[in-house]
Structure 1
Amino acid sequence: MGEPDPATTVVICAYTERRWDDVVAALVAVRAQTAPAGEIILVVDHNPAFEQRAAAEFDDVLVVANSGRRGLSGARNTAIELAKGEVIVFLDDDAVPEPDWLEELLAGYRDPRVLGVGGSARPVWPDGHRSPLLPARGSGTGELDWVVGCTYTGQPEAEAPVRNLMGCNMSFRREVFELAGLFTEDLGRVGRTPLGCEETELCIRLHHASPDSLVLFRPSSVVRHRVTPDRLTWRYLRHRGWGEGVSKALVSRSVGADAALATERDYLRRVIPAAMLRELFRLPRTPGLFALFLVVGATAAGYVRGKLSRKRLRIRSSRPKLVHGPVHVAAVDVHNMPARLRVPPRSVGHYRAAQLLVRDGRRTLDVVLLPVRDGVVRLDLIGTGIPATPAKSGFERPLISVVVPTAHRKGQALASVRAALAAGYPKLDVIVVDNFPPGPDGDDWLREEVEKLGAHYLVEPRKGVSVARNTGAAASTGDFVAFLDENISVEPGWFDAVAEEFVADPEVGCVTAMVLPASLETDAEVLFERLKGYSHTVRRQRLDRETVGEDPLYPLSMARYGPGSCTTWRRSTFEGLRGFDPLLGAGTPAMAGEDLDLFVRLARAGGTVVYTPHAVARHTHRAGWLELREQMRGYGVGLSAMLLLSVLRRPIGVFSILARLPRGLARLRSRSPELPLSDRAARSRLRQLRRDERYGMLSGPLALARAWKRHRVDARSGPR
């Protein structure tokens, strides 16, 4: 059996203790997969007794209550918001997968265009024999098997793209819920009410949001779906058909009749008439013919009733809700974590939420956002079933040079140096580069303070963080160079986690880290964290040539790398790329873009970047609204300037950029937080920040020209 796949979360939703044995059987089968899941989540739909029993019985499963509306869709949405996997798999509570079920599902994602993969469901009849109520050719699948949640005649018999997947056996990339939103809670089963079509509606929305994407049906991924006797009655057939018709009418109103009924029209024209002819001339007679008329008629009646309804579907975004007001920032260790965490009081107002870094010693397990109620955070809501990757011990620690450029926030730069020296790494060479000196000899106060700490002080009067970083790297002596911005403070163990990656793999050219906010006290800090937060994943990632097949935006997807303000480079790799481009970055007219530019050049040279969540640093966000607006404008200026510079260096690259542009814009939109409809001020601020970023992108080409002009002036004065 292989190692657990860290990219996979399996979700099971349950609502009644009558299915306890089914849930146990499903969990046993999931644990025994040939490609084990990295995480299992069991969502209990408004049944506290079931939830308590499951939490006590299943130690390796994250058991949570449905935080949404009652029903299957709300339960699934709860799991999506908690899931850590890049692929989220949904399994019904009364379905038992085959041993290679998950392996077959994941095999469908080898094509980067595939955003969803589903499998087949084979019925497990109450008495072991197929019910005569459901027509079929021999003992195979039947035309009405969808009524009992199983694969039916008319579906592909081999791997093929489809419009939608079956809810009992389906999976999606996390990106789907960013592009298309969550399951519609106005649809989906509620208890025994047999409504449906929530997965159909989601898949259609996905096709609209990403027309080039594929949803794949793989019959080789099999689950055994238990059919209970109450589903094999005339009453249930009529009730199920009616519910399907009502649901289809609501879906057609939401996404259009053509998309909602395309598959159904083919099913009614081709599959149903053939089944009726077969059953009409079948001897001896069976109830199958009447069942066909009953289900089709009830579905049509339900559709008419649904079309007459004025109900509209409400699409819920997958994006996290913006928490206004202060957010408490803290870290907890699973070895001494209490059940409740008391949040310190504030002089003005109170904390509404807490962002918690969950660690196992110096290894990162998770980053969670939990509500604060009456000054207390419930830590027992944190699932700790995912083990931390053990740290390597006994390796020879290399010398790491640390370059801290500083301009206007020299006090923060000193705090950054102190944090680096306190991180517990024995071999550091720290260099502070003053990029805004008051005179040719530098800042005497800063020099004295830096030298008191045992670090080196350099002066670089040419403006720009790229020039300052390059100057510090040229003066450094280590085989590895860490670049820390003045508003970055690393935590203990940071350098050990970084050095571990370089020592373990000589092909790694750069290591990036997890960067969390140092403070979330103001609305500007909270909004920046929601828009551009750096803590994008708690999973280690290796980015190289193979990433092109996994992420269509790579190498232009900055979010995959981690922040460039907290990176460590192998000296030979950094010098081979000739360092940061002096035309880009803070302190230049381009304002930003130097980090992504260097990452892209590394990717095109065939290099490798590793992101490790175990190296944790804290970033001091802009606390003021005007500062945040200027920062967002700078991001836009830097991005377009960087893309233009990349095309000027390599004109053929314009085709690669254009090919990635639609999905890049969709991902950019998906990062916008969902705001309450009544919060007009928050919506206005969000729109303003997006306008600032877009206007900044328009200014990028002119800013690049100004940066080039200034660079030529600096070049005439000679190198320093």
Structure 2
Amino acid sequence: MPQSPSTSSRPPARSPLRDIVVADLDLDLDPGGGATVLTLTPAPGGPALRAGPVYALVRLRGRPVATVLTTVPDGADPRDVLTAAFLAQSGEHGPHRPAPSTAGAGTASPPTAGPPRTTVVVATRERADRLGRALDSLLAQDHPDFRVVVVDNAPVTPATRELVATGYAGRVTYLREPVPGLATAHNRGVAAADSPVVAFTDDDVVADPHWLSALTAPFAEDPRTGCVTGLILPARLTTPAQVLLESHGGFAKGFDPRLYDPAAPPVGEPLFPFTAGSFGSGANMAFRASALRAVGGFDPATGTGTPAKGGDDLYAFVRVLTAGHRLRYAPDALVWHHHRETWQDLRNQAYGYGAGLTAYLTAVVCRHPALLPALLAKLPRGLAHARAITAHRQGPGENGTGAPGAHGAQAHPWPRALSRLERRGMLYGPLGYARARWGRR
């Protein structure tokens, strides 16, 4: 039976993967086609700006619109270099502006109120050193009405409880969930939520101050919205594994808002709604609490910490959509993610993604057999699609987050060893899910 990789391995030989500074650039467009720099800062928790390669988020008056990768020469002003790179990348079409949604149909009602009251759930396990950084960013949100809940999943030490008690008493709610598994921890948070919306993020992110407002506003604007996901960008690119992952797309889903409506399936996505990986990621998602509870929450036999190894977020996305709710992608809802740092981390991640993909599909079929005919009808194309996405990775320029080929995908091809691990994970996923369900019984 396939097993998750556990022994260390070195990355295959290729040109060096350089340490890249991550920056946050905010611009205002000039009438003559130029741009004025409003602010330029390092990404939260990242190294200071310096000469050398720089990967920058570009905002237009605070709104994320693109990323650029360029090299700042010694003695040059990074503001000038990055601005010129963005304008050149925009080319003859002018600076990139968020486009109307093309995924699905439907219109939202004009907003009548501010973002709804929200509970933010952070599931964690033995990472108190990272959790504090995430909590600080969450407590600095500009959302008018929210609370933060930390779910300590199967803790071995009291470090997380002590962190919350000593550093965040009265500001963060602490809950202990003894049963291991990310989905179980998330369900514990949902049970404790007393708000119309429940949002989820991870302990290895730093949330932009406007993150929660942007992530939850669509629920007030459209009563059919059941789920919203947001933009995830790297906080650091200081190790070869981090650079390789981000050079092939990372977790970003682009800068154009998108609407997925089961009543009007998106054109060009024949596998919808079983292409859950394109909807977003669990580090940046929110649900209408009533919709999530109505579909039974997260499947506790999925997710990190179970034999299934993942798929809890994908399962929830598909269940909310198949129940008739809309899912929206809101690129203004930004979190900075601290990618895994080592080559072995990346190997484990590749295997886990493959396992989680087929585990969540198995969960959908086991728990909701009525969806099986639709899944079987799409299965041949689905298998071909799965093989294609593991054979190579898209660079950010190919998925809408930067200039074509500019972010390293050509210089650093996705290793075949990682593609093989992901396919092995796909073969293991159904068995992992079965083991997880049997173990819970």
The letter for the 1-side match of 2:382 is R
1:531 Cα deviation (Å)? 3.5
Instruction: For 1:371-382, list aligned pairs within 5 A.
Output: 371-374=71-74, 376=76, 377=78, 378=81, 379-382=83-86
**Superposition pairs of residues 137-536 of structure 1, within 5 angstroms:** 324-335=17-28, 337-338=36-37, 352-374=52-74, 376=76, 377=78, 378=81, 379-383=83-87, 385-387=95-97, 395-438=113-156, 444-449=161-166, 451-452=168-169, 454-531=171-248, 533-536=250-253
Distance 1:646 1:678 in 2: 36
- For 2:131 and 2:408, locate their aligned partners in 1 and report how far apart those are by CA, in whole Å: 38
Match of 2:415, SS state, is helix
- Structure 2 residue corresponding to 1:663, chosen from 363, 376, 385: 385
Cα offset, 1:508, TM superposition: 0.7
Higher helix fraction (1 or 2): 1
Q: Per the alignment, do residues 647 and 389 of structure 1 end up closer, same or farther by CA in structure 2, a change over 3 Å counting?
A: closer
Contact 1:494 1:616 (C-alpha < 8 Å) held by counterparts: yes
How far 1:338 sits from its partner (Å)?
4.2
SS in 2 for 1:621: coil
8 A Cα contact 2:122 2:149, kept in partner: yes
How far has the Cα of 1:696 moved from its partner? 1.6
Aligned length: 386
Alpha-carbon shift at residue 665 of structure 1 (Å): 2.8
Identity %: 33
Residue 341 to residue 504, structure 1, CA distance change in 2 (3 Å): closer
* Structure 2, unpaired ranges of 5+: 1-13, 29-34, 88-93, 101-109, 396-404
Aligned to 1:692: 421
Secondary structure, counterpart of 1:424 in structure 2: coil
Superposed displacement of residue 387, structure 1: 4.6
- Quickly say closer, same or farther: Cα 1:676–1:628, change in 2 above 3 A: closer
Query: Do the aligned residues in 2 keep the contact of 1:322 with 1:527 (CA within 8 Å)?
Result: no
Deviation track 1:55-110 (CA, whole Å, cap 9, x = no partner) reads: xxxxxxxxxxxxxxxxxxxxxxxxxxxxxxxxxxxxxxxxxxxxxxxxxxxxxxxx
- Identify the residue that residue 569 of structure 1 maps to in structure 2: 287
Report the Cα offset of residue 594 of structure 1: 1.1
Cα distance, 1:555–1:449 mapped onto 2, change above 3 Å: farther
Cα RMSD of the aligned pairs, angstroms, is: 3.4
Q: 1:461 to 1:353 in 2, by over 3 A?
A: same
Distance in structure 1 (CA, Å) of the matches to 2:314 and 2:138 = 24
Determine which structure has more spread, i.e. the larger CA radius of gyration.
1
TM-score, scaled to structure 1: 0.49
Can you list the C-alpha shifts for 1:512-569, whole angstroms capped at 9, x where unaligned? 0001001011111111223451222110000112234331232232443121221011
What is the DSSP-based 3-state SS (H/G/I as helix, E as strand, rest coil) of the residue aligned with 1:370? strand
Q: Which runs of at least 4 in structure 1 moved beyond 4 Å after TM superposition?
A: 336-344, 386-390, 441-444, 672-679
Between the aligned partners of 2:230 and 2:420, the Cα distance in structure 1 is 30
The Cα shift of 1:671 comes to 1.8
Counterpart Cα distance in 2 of 1:327 and 1:542: 33
Contact 1:553–1:664 (8 Å) recurs in 2: no
Query: 1:363 and 1:380, CA in 2 relative to 1: closer, same or farther beyond 3 A?
Result: same
- The C-alpha deviation readout for 1:13-64, integer Å capped at 9, x for no partner, is xxxxxxxxxxxxxxxxxxxxxxxxxxxxxxxxxxxxxxxxxxxxxxxxxxxx
Structure 1: any 5+ residue segments left out of the alignment? 1-320, 713-720
AA paired with 2:202? D
1:702 to 413, 421, 431: 431
Q: Is the 1:548–1:555 contact (alpha carbons within 8 Å) kept by the matching residues of 2? A: no
**TM-score for both structures, normalised by structure 2:** 0.78
Distance 1:664 1:678, change over 3 A: closer
Tell me the distance in 1 between the aligned counterparts of 2:63 and 2:223: 22
Aligned counterparts of 1:614 and 1:533: Cα–Cα separation in 2: 17
Residue 596, structure 1, aligned to residue 294, structure 2: no
